[in-house]
Amino acid sequence: MRGLRDKVAIVAGAAPGNIGGATAIRLAQEGMKVVAADLNAAAAQVVVDEIKSTGGYAVARGFDITDESAYKDLIGFAARDLRGLDALFNVAADLSSGTIGRDTDVRSVPLDVWERTIDVTLTGYMYGIRHALPLLIARGGGSIVNTMSSEVWMGEGQRVAYQTAKSGLIGLNRHTATVGGKHGVRSNIVAPGVTLTAAAKRILTEEYLDQMLASVRSPRLGVPEDIAAMVAFLFSDDGAYVNGQTILVDGGANLT
């Protein structure tokens, strides 16, 4: 894709087998210099090792997206050691059994689950945007992509905290697109449908996956590489006139 070679990207939530890891790999294949960041630094290093094995450029960093100073340090690392920042992909989520596994409905969701989900998936993304946007503006342009979920449109009867946090990204994204747009900084959302990530395979039953496959207008469910391709497009010059949008990558499950 045009305009990606030698640009610097941060992938916040780059775990192997998941959307972040696949995106880090795809961006490196396109010639970008990638900072693969994750709460689990060892997991990020696995992604980096794979990138380096095929000649790509990547470095691994451990960070906690709920800690603003940690996110600021991560962005400062890219600006200092890689001499700038051109793109940011927020994809971190707490999909542990202790969080999403206890995310029920509005009548019973534990408050600690609600707060943890908002902290990771909404406030954490805001931290990244807060500290990346000034650098991108000063650089003369760039791109931010946030990860939502098609669950927002489905209105499911469970995972209320997850759906609420993801819904909040619409306002954050449109605000960022407005603030950055005239400076050449674009902000968009990718909204995956059911995607066969390593995490999804751990927590979703075969019965649920069969139901989801029946609901999509596609012969298969999504894979992380499908989302990675869209992020690469939005980062590239080919996506230069796309700003403030939410793009569903869900096999046609939702026709909005």
Which CATH number do you get for residue 233? 3.40.50.720
CB 37 within 8 A of CB 62: yes
Q: For residue 35, give the 3-state DSSP assignment.
A: strand
Beta strands, E only, the chain: 8-12, 33-38, 57-62, 87-90, 142-147, 185-192, 246-249
Order of strands, edge to edge, in the sheet holding 87-90?
A: 57-62, 33-38, 8-12, 87-90, 142-147, 185-192, 246-249
> Looking at residues 141-159, what average pLDDT do you find?
90
Q: Could you tell me the pTM of the whole model?
A: 0.95
Query: With bands split at pLDDT 50, 70 and 90, how would you rate the model's confidence at 253?
Result: confident
H or E stretch covering 151: helix 151-154
* 216 belongs to a structural domain: no
Active site amino acids: 162
Is residue 256 pLDDT above 80, yes or no?
no
Does residue 209 fall inside a structural domain? no
Count of CB atoms situated within 10 Å of the CB of 206:
7
Total domain count, the chain: 1
d(CA 221, CA 213): 6
Q: What range defines the domain where residue 104 resides?
A: 8-195+224-247
Provide the 3-class DSSP secondary structure of residue 156.
coil
Q: Decide if 153 is inside a domain.
A: yes
One-letter amino acid for residue 97 of the chain: S
* pLDDT for 123: 98
What pLDDT, on the 0 to 100 scale, is given for residue 226?
97
Indicate whether 144 belongs to any domain.
Answer: yes
